[in-house]
A and B are shown apart, each in its own frame.
Chain A
Amino acid sequence: MQIALSVQNVIKKFGDFTAVDNVSFEVPDGGFFSILGPSGCGKTTLLRMISGFIEPSAGRIEIRGRDMAGLSPNKRPVNLIFQNLALFPMMSVAENVAFGLQRRREKKEVIEQKVAEILARVGLPGFGEKKIHQLSGGQKQRVAIARCLVLEPAVLLLDEPLGALDLKLREQMKVELKKLQAQVGTTFVYITHDQSEALVMSDKVAVMNSGRFEQIDTPPNLYNNPKTPFVARFVGDNNTWSGRIIACTQEGPGEIVAEIETAEGERFRVRSTDRFAPGAGVDLFLRPESMLIEPDADIADLNRFQVVVKSILFDGANSRLLANPLTADTELLIALPQNRQYDYIQPGDKIAIGWHAQAGICFPKV
């Protein structure tokens, strides 16, 4: 498969501050690649380097095999959807969409035809004559996408375009954007701080932290096999529990199981990222949803312990229990499925918790 975008060892420094630190990745043609990171991690800087607004301090950016060094944004075969969309308020929808085509001096009839086609494709047929201020948030979104897609860019860059929408619309646009991408087959590079956007839409996600890529992987892998503590914490929710290694055993190729003891004296078997020496300090990462409440006694291979429920954090499908292990103040969040099975649980109750060794992961303590 052809590589649409290739970023090789790109570094960007602003004075002493390194905003993007030796980042490399490749996106195949037609791929949906997301860069996920907290604000200030350098993802916007990276995107602006790809689109040409900033020159990298070092490294190489190639689009369809062509080196982009020194090429200004208006000469690059990429288009950027801005965070605030940046639609031209002085123009109609059709004029906005036609803007790029006119710059290429395409024929008037061709422009009209292409504009009508792309507007129909994004679900806004007949909206050409409308003014930008007459559109709703979701419609503006689509016009911004149409304005870029009509130019058939090699790569479409999206800078948190859903950030300004309200929750319901965002959920809806997420699905639509994914569908649209599959339809048109354009390569998307999407940056966001919202993990759900990245996980739902992308083929591959890069998790970025203070200028560096922590991990590039498929969404399920990021969630199930985080390579660094940062990824474990940032993708999905995780409880952190500190402990100490008692022994490590190799159970298969790349599969290490550690026996650990937490500060409170609980003993667990858990998947480990490395063979640690006995006595080494580790952080155990345990997802709220990987803990079972009151598991059946006959399920084998479960780590079991007791907790005291402190409070119930009701949030619909996302409800949790806030609980302490019996002997310590470590706070744990435990997913509380809303299937009426656990309605009896009250704050102050003592309940049993079980989790599978493969559901947690431990990293060396930092």
Chain B
Amino acid sequence: MKTSLRWSLFFFLTPVLLWLFLLIVLPHIDLLIMSFRMDTDDGKTIWTLSNYLNFFHEPIYWLTFVRTAVYSIIVTLLTLVITFPLAFYITKVVGLRFQGFFMTIILMPFWVSELVRVYGWMILLRESGVINHFLLKFGLLRHPVEMLYHDSTMIMGLVYTSMLFMVVPLISVLESLDDGLIEAAYDLGANMWHILFKIIIPHAVPGIVSGCIVVFMLTLGNYLTPNLMGGKNSLWFTEQIYNEFIASFNWNQGAAFGFLLLVLSSLVIWAGLKMSGQKLSQVVQ
């Protein structure tokens, strides 16, 4: 009995462990080593901290880094503010019959790839795009306006991309909220805001935190949307990493940046968990 249990555990766990080790741990160890090495001019490879020091010496690097962090947090909060009422509406206001329908509508955009979605936005927003065309036609604008390549456009695109990952945990946590609690609070004299802040949000905290973690990590590591919608003025840290690996062919520098990004996301998530008083093990459930 005991040996067979151990055998089945081993059997089912092996693929996961192999996958984790070969595809995640091993490459990261290699990247970590790489980030502390540098090719000198005479062709030798030496141990060095210069890859990390470069980051602090060049303002463009750490400014992009801070920008990416701040914008990711803004995107996360915006996504939360937009999707919370949506999730509440789907779970508590519309009947059970329409819940599936609404979920499908939210899922629908994710049936096409992110690339196609971003190009969709570009067709709408660019100078010769659909929106400009109609604005000109109805005489609301005299000259077409470039709506792409602004930070705000990029944030909108990132929020749009992230919405699903926020709405799913929110819906599942709000579904578990007993309607009776809302009614009881209402009956005891609470108004809408009391109910929201005393009952609904405290109940939804685990869902909010897990949604925020996912959205924040996805946004921080997103490459496509900032690159295509933000244009050249809106640098994202992933673009710096890409540039080091592909354009400059400086893998050591790129590896160092990659690790800095990892540290950044871990730090922000840790701070977020501390602030909301949640434990990671509860949130990922």
Q: Knowing A74-B191, A90-B203, A99-B198 are in contact, say whether A82-B186 is a contact too (CB < 8 A).
A: no
Interface bits A98-128 vs B (CB < 8 Å: 1, else 0): 0110011000000000000000000000000
A100 contacts B199, CB within 8 Å?
Answer: no
New A-B pairs, 20, CB < 8 Å, besides A51-B187, A86-B180, A87-B184: A52-B187, A53-B186, A73-B183, A73-B186, A73-B187, A74-B188, A74-B189, A75-B189, A80-B183, A80-B184, A80-B187, A82-B183, A86-B181, A86-B183, A89-B203, A99-B190, A99-B198, A103-B188, A103-B190, A147-B188
A111–chain B nearest beta-carbon distance, Å: 13
Instruction: Determine if A103 and B194 form an interchain contact, defined as CB atoms under 8 angstroms apart.
Output: yes
For A103, the chain B residues whose CB sits under 8 A away are 188-191, 194
Quick check: is B185 within 8 A (CB to CB) of the other chain? Answer: yes
* 7 intermolecular pairs with C-beta atoms under 8 Å apart: A51-B187, A74-B188, A74-B190, A83-B180, A84-B178, A103-B188, A103-B191
Number of residue pairs spanning A and B whose beta carbons lie under 8 angstroms apart:
58
In the complex, are the beta carbons of B187 and A74 less than 8 A apart? yes
CB distance from B17 to the nearest CB of A (A): 36
Instruction: Give complex CA distance A142, B188 in Å.
Output: 16
B202 on the A face (CB < 8 A)? yes
In order of increasing CB-CB distance, the 8 nearest A-B pairs are A86-B180, A86-B184, A100-B188, A103-B189, A90-B202, A73-B187, A74-B189, A73-B186
Number of residues in B with C-beta < 8 Å to the partner? 17
Chain B residue nearest to A77 (CB atoms) is B189
Interface residues of B in 132-185 (CB under 8 A from A): 178, 180-181, 183-185
Instruction: Point out which of B178, B189, B191, B194 has the most chain A C-beta atoms below 10 A from its C-beta.
Output: B189
Chain B residues positioned under 8 Å from A88 (CB to CB): 181, 184-185, 198-199
A residues near B, CB below 8 A? 51-53, 72-75, 79-80, 82-84, 86-90, 99-100, 103-104, 147-148, 151
> Complex: how many Å from CA A79 to CA B187?
6
Q: How far is the CB of A99 from chain B (nearest CB, A)?
A: 5
For A147, list chain B residues within 8 Å (CB): 188
Minimum CB–CB distance from A92 to chain B (whole Å) comes to: 12
| Chain B neighbourhood of A86, CB < 8 A | 178, 180-181, 183-184
Instruction: Find chain B residues with CB under 8 A from A82 CB.
Output: 180, 183-184
Contacts of B202 in A (CB 8 A): 90
Residue of A nearest to B178 (CB): A86
Residues of A within 8 A of B191 (CB): 74, 103
Contact A104 B183, CB 8 Å, known A90-B202, A99-B198: no
- Chain B, residues 183-221, CB within 8 Å of chain A (1/0): the string is 111111111001000110011000000000000000000
Nearest chain B CB to A50's CB is how many angstroms away?
Answer: 11
A140 vs B180: C-alpha distance in the bound complex, in angstroms?
A: 15
User: Nearest chain-B residue to A144 (Cβ)?
Assistant: B184
Complex CA–CA separation, A88 to B199 (angstroms) = 8
Bound complex: CA A75 to CA B185 (Å) = 12
- Identify the closest chain A residue to B189 (Cβ): A103
Find chain A residues with CB under 8 A from B189 CB: 74-75, 100, 103-104, 151
| A235 CA / B245 CA spacing, docked (Å) | 84
A99→B188 contact, CB < 8 A: yes
Q: Using Cβ atoms and an 8 Å threshold, which residues of chain B touch A104? A: 189
User: Inside 8 A of A148's CB, which chain B residues have their CB?
Assistant: 188
CB <8 Å contact, A151 and B188:
yes
Task: Report the Cα distance A72→B180, complex, angstroms.
Answer: 16
- Which residues of A are found within 8 Å of B178, using beta-carbon distances? 84, 86
Q: How far is the CB of A77 from chain B (nearest CB, A)?
A: 10
Cα distance A87–B203 when bound, in Å?
13
